[in-house]
C-alpha cells in the first residue's frame, strides 16, 4: 500500500493521498508491530492538508457500493449524484476537478486496484471549490485482473458512483481525449515503470528489514524472513507483468 502511494507521489500526479511511512512501534518498551503511520483520508485529514476548518470540508465516501455522506454540504453531494444519474456533463465538468479525476482513474486502473471503484472511494471539496478524489487503500493492487484494460477495470458490472461518473464523462469526446492523452503521456515518460516501482519497494523493504524478525517472533506472520522476501518478489513481479501489458491495453482503448 505504501509503495504504491510513494509511486503516485514520485510521478507527480495531481492526486490527494494518505501520506505515510513504515514505522516500528513499541508500547511501554515492548514491541507492538510494524505499522504504517499515515495521514487521515477523512474530513480532519483534508482540513489539515489544506489548512482550513473542518466545517469547510464537504466529504463523502463509498464502501461496498453505498455512498455515505460524512461532512459538510450534503445538498451539494446530492446535486452531484443527481447530475451523474442525468449525465449532466456541463454540471459535472463545473463541479469536478477534471485533471484530478483523470489522474485518479488513470492511476487506480493502471495498478489494477480491485478494491475499487465500488468501494474505498472518498471525494471532497473545500468550500465552493471543485470536488477532488482521494487515493488510499492500495494493498489489493496488481494481484488479479492485470490483463484487463483500464476501461474494463473502471466499468465493472456492479453499479457504483465512480463507474457511473467516469462513463458519463467518457461519452464526451474532449474528456475522452484528455484521459487517453494522459495515459499515453505517462507511458511515454515511463513514470509508472517497473524499474521505478522496484526501487520504491526496495527502499521500503530496507526500512523495516532489521526489525522483521521481531514481527515474526510475535505474530508468526510471515513465518520466516524468506517467506516475506518471496512475497515482496511477487509484488514486484506482478507490477512488471502489468507494466509490460499496459501499452497494448491502452492502445486498444482508442
Residue pLDDT, tens place only, 21-44: 888 999 999 999 999 899 999 999
Q: Grid coordinates representing 236? A: 514486484
pLDDT of residue 158: 80
What is the average pLDDT score of the chain? Answer: 94
Share of the chain above pLDDT 90, in %: 87
- Tell me what percent of the residues of the chain surpass a pLDDT of 70: 100
Q: Between residues 64 and 116, which one has the greater pLDDT?
A: 116
Least Cα distance to 215 among 38, 28, 23, 21 occurs for 23
Mean pLDDT of the region 51-59 = 97
Whether the CB-CB separation of 62 and 121 falls below 8 Å is answered with yes
Residue 221: per-residue pLDDT: 85
Amino acid 65: pLDDT:
77
Give the C-alpha distances (Å, rounded to integers) separating 182 from 57, 101, 136, 138. Answer: 28, 11, 21, 21
Average pLDDT over residues 52-77: 94
Residue 133: predicted pLDDT: 98
Mean pLDDT of 4-21: 92
Average pLDDT rounded to a whole number, residues 191-206: 94
Can you give the pLDDT at residue 117? Answer: 94
Q: Which residue has the cell 485482473?
A: 145
Residue written as grid cell 515518460: 189
pLDDT of residue 64: 80
The confidence band for 156, taking pLDDT boundaries of 50, 70 and 90, is confident
> How confident is the model at residue 90, as a pLDDT?
97
179: nearest Cα among 73, 103, 85: 103
Does 226 have pLDDT greater than 80?
yes
Q: Is the pLDDT of residue 157 over 80?
A: no
Query: CA angle, 77 as apex, 109 and 55 as ends, to 5°?
Result: 105
Amino acid at each position: 500500500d505504501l509503495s504504491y502511494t510513494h509511486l503516485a507521489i514520485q510521478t507527480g500526479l495531481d492526486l490527494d493521498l494518505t501520506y505515510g511511512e513504515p514505522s516500528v512501534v513499541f508500547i511501554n518498551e515492548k514491541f507492538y508491530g510494524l505499522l504504517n503511520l499515515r495521514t487521515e483520508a477523512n474530513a480532519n485529514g483534508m482540513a489539515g492538508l489544506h489548512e482550513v476548518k473542518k466545517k469547510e470540508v464537504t466529504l463523502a465516501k463509498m464502501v461496498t457500493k453505498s455512498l455515505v455522506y460524512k461532512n459538510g454540504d450534503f445538498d451539494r453531494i446530492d446535486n452531484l449524484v443527481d447530475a451523474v444519474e442525468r449525465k449532466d456533463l456541463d454540471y459535472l465538468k463545473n463541479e469536478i476537478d477534471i485533471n484530478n479525476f483523470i489522474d485518479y482513474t488513470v492511476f487506480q486502473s493502471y495498478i489494477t486496484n480491485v478494491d475499487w471503484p465500488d468501494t474505498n472511494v472518498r471525494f471532497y471539496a473545500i468550500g465552493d471549490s471543485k470536488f477532488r478524489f482521494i487515493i488510499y487503500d492500495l494493498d489489493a493492487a496488481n494481484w488479479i485482473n492485470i490483463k484487463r484494460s483500464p476501461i474494463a477495470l473502471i466499468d465493472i458490472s456492479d453499479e457504483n458512483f465512480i463507474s457511473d461518473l467516469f462513463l458519463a464523462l467518457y461519452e464526451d469526446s474532449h474528456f475522452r481525449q484528455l484521459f487517453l492523452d494522459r495515459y499515453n503521456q505517462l507511458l511515454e515518460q515511463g513514470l509508472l515503470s517497473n524499474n521505478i516501482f522496484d526501487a520504491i519497494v526496495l527502499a521500503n523493504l530496507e526500512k523495516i528489514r532489521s526489525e522483521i524478525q521481531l514481527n515474526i517472533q510475535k505474530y508468526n506472520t510471515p513465518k520466516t524472513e524468506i517467506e516475506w522476501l518471496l512475497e515482496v518478489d511477487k509484488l514486484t513481479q506482478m507490477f512488471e507483468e502489468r507494466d509490460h501489458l499496459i501499452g497494448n491495453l491502452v492502445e486498444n482503448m482508442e
